[in-house]
Amino acid sequence: MEIICAMVFQLPRDLSPEEAKTAGFDVYYIDHTAGLWLQTKAGVPFTELEFQSKKDAFADLYEDLAAGQKARTVYENLLRVIEDPDVRAPLKYLQEREIVHFQGMYSEEQGNP
């Protein structure tokens, strides 16, 4: 999460009102300047309701694995549209980390070392 937050913080830090308008961020800029306001692309705000916990190790493990795979898909989609190598490099790292995390967790759950 820290890597994504750092990237999101760095990209618009010197954004002018004119650049925000040209990029299509004018409405967002009016409400939040270049600050972070966590929401989906559809405009649904992020809330703690996004997290699920059942106090059941297997249910929570599968929830974690599913969240990781959803994150991996987002990284892949971003990599399809982003050309900036300084943004692509950490996204590739995060994508690979999700793959390794899934393989490791799935292997442990199956009883494999």
What residue ranges do the domains of the chain occupy?
A: 1-50, 52-113
How much is the pTM? 0.55
List, for residues 69-92, the tens digit of each pLDDT value: 888 888 899 899 999 998 899 999
- What pLDDT band is residue 45 in, cutting at 50, 70 and 90? confident
Amino acid present at 67: A
